[in-house]
A and B are shown apart, each in its own frame.
Chain A
């Protein structure tokens, strides 16, 4: 990998951690509002951003009250989201932007969050569907906001 990319991905991972910690008590647990998830739409523009997202989630979750358990499940959730999104883009390549947004929301908001719901179910014994719906709602709200911000911002920063 070229050094330019390594540097950028490393710093974006740091930014993810900082944005998570900025709203720390809200970012972990059942009702989640993770500011840092605003960065996730970056992956719509460059698949390479999968790395900083994975690294960012792993480091940020170290500070979660659950520690390693969150590191494993959180990172797994992000990984599942990334794979589902990549798969969707591959199977249905000639999609318009709004269609991509739909794949993206389903991949990260619905499928990825299932992993988190399983974790909450195992750890807090919260019923699976309820856990899934609550984390999904918070996540999708942040992701939609993120898509708007990143779409405006990213093409300018790339220059």
Chain B
């Protein structure tokens, strides 16, 4: 089982140094923008923009493009669905019940470019920001809701979760192998059998998780952990001039794109 958690890559770029709050905010704004645009020509401009942004991050472009490639099966389902069931515009091609319309092709192209853009932006966000910084940024963005939700506790839970994902993956791997050697293989056999085998994997997973939590709680208390509200942090997010500039540029780009979309 392979999983790249917070596959952060350090390349010392301007984008890397931006405050994660700025990156997260711009990301959300751009995401909304992407879903507002319905013109293929504008997507051309956006794609060029994203490619130049990749240059700015100094990340290997192949890495980001390959993230879009991971969408291939989802894209295929989407393409088949839209191509054959979208029935507007001029009929281009007919084969029995299958009819392809020019609007259908336009729709498919639009959705493909939109999806690829969203995925490339998301990959860029996680490649340029450390997972813990993202947590910190989320905590900051959520802090106005401090009265409603225990923001600090949640941030700690997120950190614990991120910390324990690799550990639990190792455990799952071991248990799956151990159970498979006893004949409980969850990857083969009839579905009912597989579900039964799955339970034999889940129970030890549960027990291990509860035990680990118990140990962790003891360790926390032994180190004098009281409550998250009054804690201070080792690293703090600082706001520089470049963050203000980045935020203004990011939001201006989004507004310009929306305006062009309006005019065209």
A residues contacting B by CB (< 8 A) are: 1, 3-4, 6-15, 17-19, 21-22, 24-25, 28-30, 35, 38, 51-52, 55-56, 59, 62-63, 65-69, 72, 122-127, 145, 149, 153, 157
B207 within 8 A of A: yes
Cα–Cα, bound, A145→B191 (Å): 13
Q: Is the interface of A mostly helix, strand, loop or mixed?
A: helix
Chain A residues lying within 8 Å of B111, measured Cβ to Cβ, are: 123-125
Q: Are B77 and A30 in contact (CB under 8 A)?
A: yes
B73 within 8 A of A: yes
11 intermolecular pairs with C-beta atoms under 8 Å apart: A3-B217, A6-B156, A6-B220, A10-B164, A15-B209, A18-B165, A55-B154, A67-B126, A68-B121, A68-B125, A124-B77
B35 within 8 A of A: yes
Q: Are A18 and B169 in contact (CB under 8 A)?
A: yes
Known: A25-B73, A55-B154, A65-B74. A14 touches B210 (CB 8 A): no
Chain A residues lying within 8 Å of B237, measured Cβ to Cβ, are: none
Q: Are B216 and A11 in contact (CB under 8 A)?
A: yes
Partner of B162, one of A7, A28, A59: A59
Partner of A13, one of B82, B157, B225: B157
Q: How large is the interface on B (under 10, 10 to 19, 20 to 34, 35 or more residues)?
A: 35 or more
Known: A51-B154, A67-B122. A7 touches B3 (CB 8 A): no
Q: Are B118 and A67 in contact (CB under 8 A)?
A: yes
**Considering only CB atoms, which chain A residue lies closest to B207 in the complex?**
A157
Chain A residues lying within 8 Å of B225, measured Cβ to Cβ, are: 3
The 4 closest A-B pairs by CB, nearest first: A67-B122, A10-B160, A13-B161, A14-B164
B50 within 8 A of A: no
Partner of B217, one of A4, A24, A153: A4
CB contact list, B67-89 vs A, under 8 A: 67, 70-71, 73-74, 77-78, 81-82, 85-86
CB contact list, B201-228 vs A, under 8 A: 202-203, 205-207, 209-210, 212-214, 216-217, 220-221, 225, 227-228
Cα–Cα, bound, A7→B220 (Å): 9
B107 within 8 A of A: yes
Q: Are B119 and A62 in contact (CB under 8 A)?
A: no
Cα–Cα, bound, A110→B126 (Å): 32
B255 within 8 A of A: no
Cα–Cα, bound, A16→B17 (Å): 31
Chain B residues lying within 8 Å of A55, measured Cβ to Cβ, are: 154, 157-158, 161
Cα–Cα, bound, A145→B160 (Å): 28
B115 within 8 A of A: yes
CB contact list, B181-215 vs A, under 8 A: 195, 198-199, 202-203, 205-207, 209-210, 212-214
Q: Are B169 and A10 in contact (CB under 8 A)?
A: no
Residues 122-163 of B, flagged 1 when their CB comes within 8 A of A and 0 if not, give 110110000000000000000000000010011011111111
Partner of B123, one of A6, A67, A123: A67
Instruction: Tell me the smallest distance from the CB of B140 to a CB of chain A, in Å.
Output: 16
Instruction: Tell me the smallest distance from the CB of A98 to a CB of chain B, in Å.
Output: 21
**Considering only CB atoms, which chain A residue lies closest to B160 in the complex?**
A10
Chain A residues lying within 8 Å of B28, measured Cβ to Cβ, are: 68, 72
Known: A7-B213, A66-B115. A13 touches B126 (CB 8 A): no
